[in-house]
Amino acid sequence: MTDDSRSPADQIRQRLTLLREQRQVLVTLQGQNLGELQLDVEQALVELDDLLQEGDRLFPPAVPAES
């Protein structure tokens, strides 16, 4: 479920965080003997890392407001 009170940028930042957490699945697969699928897993990691980098560039982490 999404929180509609958050800005679109905050929603994207949250999705980037979820992708970072799910990236570990690919890292785990990378350590296994997958035969021909090994190249696909490695390519997926490269592309996911590129996507996360671009996401961080476009939507840098929000700076918390000082109290």
pLDDT band at 61 (very low <50, low <70, confident <90, very high): confident
Closest CA to 6 of 62, 66, 67: 62
Residue-wise pLDDT for 6-33, tens only, equals: 899 999 999 999 999 999 999 999 999 9
* Predicted TM-score of the model (pTM): 0.77
CA separation (Å) from 17 to 33, 43, 50, 58?
28, 20, 14, 14
